[in-house]
A and B are shown apart, each in its own frame.
Chain A
Amino acid sequence: MTTLKTDTPPPVVPPAPRRHAPSRPARRSEFKVLSGLAHVALAVWAIIVLGPILWTFLSAFKDTEEIFSSPWTLPGALRWENFGRAWESAHVGRYLLNSVLVVSLSTFGTMLLGSMAAYVLARYTFWGNRLVYYLFVSGLAFPVFLALVPLFFVVRDLGLLNSYTGLILVYIAYSLPFTIFFLSAFFKTLPNTVAEAAVIDGAGHMRLFFQVMLPMARSGLVSITIFNIIGQWAQYQLPVVLMSGARDKWVITQGIAEISVNAGFEADWAGLFAALTLAILPMILVYALLQRQIQAGLTSGAVK
């Protein structure tokens, strides 16, 4: 509303009693109450999320007696030996290293093969392009459990049961549909002019891909790399089915599940808490450092 400068004072209208809209102070205090309630609700959920995790960290320092008698108090002493036991005799160290090995290789392979296929499918016209594209994308509709029985025998017949190679190849194969689906959409959006300029400068197909297109697709590649790392790190049913015979090659998810079963028999609850802490802490540290990229990467599938 603009005010016009006039000499005559504006006619004074007596304020009509407002019946619906509350007066300003009332509104403000109402807002304060609402915002206070909002903070309470948000804080409650934050506690629900963090509580069990912090409780696990604390319990990892306790002994069995403390765990039963005072589950909610601070540990009486910092018993680091619980972690030693989890790392060494429960093999958590081994399982973590295995996971790192498998996931780094399988994510690298997924990104390399996925971006190659996505690039060709997005930017080259050739006979059968759509056929191959839909073959990959249809993989999004198949639950892993549909193929589980034959997959076991395919891997067995290739002699890859209980081997890192087998698990890594299977991870890559099952990560391809989403990776290709996402990246080919991404490659399509890259500008043609840059590619044309590179070709005029004499770049071949290979150079164009590795030195021009991949760097331009960096943000998409980062998102989908994070998506694959988290997904493959969390994988449980594939290692359980394909690696059950080789305990020394187990990944962390399968290892922790086994430790949890054994803790029941051996009543080593402190060791279980320490093992859980060792499995959770690295992920939390990585998340603390990269939380923006991780949120973007994990939600990239849903936001388009």
Chain B
Amino acid sequence: MRQGKYPFVIGFLAAPVALYCVFVVSPVVQAFQLSFTQWRGFAPPKWIGLDNYRRLVEDGNFWKAISHHAILLVALPLITIVISLFFSFLLNVGGRSRGGVTTGIWGSKFYRVVFFLPQVLAVAIIAVLFQTVYRPNESGLINGVLMKLGLDPVFFLVDKNIALWSIIGVLVWQAVGFYVVLFSAGMSSIPSDIYEAAALDGAGKFTLFFRVTLPLLWSTLQVAWVYLGIAAFDAFAVVNVLSIGNNGGPDGATTVLAIEIYRNMQESKLGYASAMGVALFFLSITFAALTLRVSRRETVEYS
């Protein structure tokens, strides 16, 4: 068995490592290099030092995208986590107490299956679905009702002030089910005698939730916040499909970095697009590191 170890190891690693280096590592390294150049794709890239980054700082669209990421970064995790926590608490602890053991609410299995459903659909397809839901005339799902009731239609994707929120709505719609399942798994791993003890001490449902469930769920919440934060730095598919003009419209009201990168790429501003990619990378990595640091707490291990 000892003999032939190295040929075997090399044989097993060669293909994955080669593929990974060609399509992931080398483009990533090149992206950093290209961000210091001016390149339109034909003549070799021209070294221009930090000029791309200097332009970035003065680029209004870039700052618009950053401000949208800031909104997404707070709103998306906050809204999704609050809704998901609420539902998973209802599903898991909301049931009748039987002999001191609280069971899940009636039909909790059905709700969980339904809530999770959007997760298996592709974001791009969900975005097309919501384009029809949000349509600004009587053929839209929401405006059809509003206009039947004699109300004015809401211009979900056309109105600059609400376009971004309409898009956040789609992201929340998809994400909630995933986190309901995730939090449910976390809640069911909390030993029931902790709940019983707290209930015996006279804790009501609300105290149970804020004093028992929430603190014991902390590490799961942290994971959820990081996941949703990372999702907030992407949002390409949903903005690309839903926004007016497919490029973060109206008038840049929904643009995100991924959209700006793609647009500059299509305009053959390749060095500049790469600089934006580098900015995106540092923003998302800083966010992940900060979240994990700031939210660090003692974790509880059940024996």
User: Considering only CB atoms and an 8 Å cut-off, how many residues of chain A contact the other chain?
Assistant: 99
Instruction: Tell me whether A265 is interfacial, beta carbon within 8 Å.
Output: no
Q: Which residues of A contact B99 (CB under 8 A)?
A: none
Q: Which residues of B contact A38 (CB under 8 A)?
A: 90, 94, 105
B128–A257 contact, CB under 8 A? yes
Q: Which of the four size classes fits the interface of chain B?
A: 35 or more
Which of B120, B123, B129, B173 has most A Cβ within 10 Å?
B120
Instruction: Tell me whether A286 is interfacial, beta carbon within 8 Å.
Output: yes
Choose the segment among B140-148, B151-159, B208-216 that binds chain A (4+ C-beta atoms closer than 8 Å).
B140-148
B178–A236 contact, CB under 8 A? no
Q: Which residues of A contact B277 (CB under 8 A)?
A: 143, 145-149
C-alpha gap A274/B186 in the complex (Å): 39
Partner of A120, one of B12, B90, B118: B12
C-alpha gap A41/B176 in the complex (Å): 14
Given contacts A147-B27, A150-B27, A237-B237, contact A205 B4 (CB under 8 A): yes
| Interface bits A50-86 vs B (CB < 8 Å: 1, else 0) | 1111011001000000011101100000000000000
C-alpha gap A256/B128 in the complex (Å): 7
Closest Cβ neighbor of B114 among chain A residues? A46
Partner of A49, one of B17, B34, B118, B128: B118
B122–A233 contact, CB under 8 A? yes
C-alpha gap A302/B175 in the complex (Å): 14
Instruction: Tell me whether A152 is interfacial, beta carbon within 8 Å.
Output: yes
Q: Beyond the given A45-B87, A45-B111, A49-B117, could you list 12 further A-B residue pairs with CB under 8 A, ordered by the A residue number?
A: A72-B148, A117-B12, A117-B16, A176-B19, A180-B16, A205-B4, A236-B124, A237-B236, A256-B125, A272-B132, A294-B116, A299-B182
Identify 19 residue pairs between A and B in the complex whose beta-carbon atoms are under 8 Å apart, listed by A's number: A31-B96, A35-B105, A46-B114, A51-B141, A69-B138, A113-B19, A142-B281, A143-B277, A147-B24, A148-B27, A154-B26, A230-B119, A237-B240, A240-B240, A241-B262, A256-B124, A259-B128, A287-B117, A298-B120
The 6 closest A-B pairs by CB, nearest first: A173-B23, A147-B27, A71-B144, A234-B122, A150-B30, A150-B27
**Residue positions of A touching B, CB distance < 8 A:** 20-21, 31, 34-35, 38-39, 41-42, 45-46, 48-53, 55-56, 59, 67-69, 71-72, 113-114, 116-117, 119-121, 124, 126, 132, 135-136, 139, 141-143, 145-155, 158, 169-170, 172-174, 176-177, 180, 199, 204-206, 209, 230, 233-237, 240-241, 252-254, 256-257, 259-261, 269, 272-273, 276, 279-280, 283-284, 286-287, 291, 294-295, 298-299, 302-303
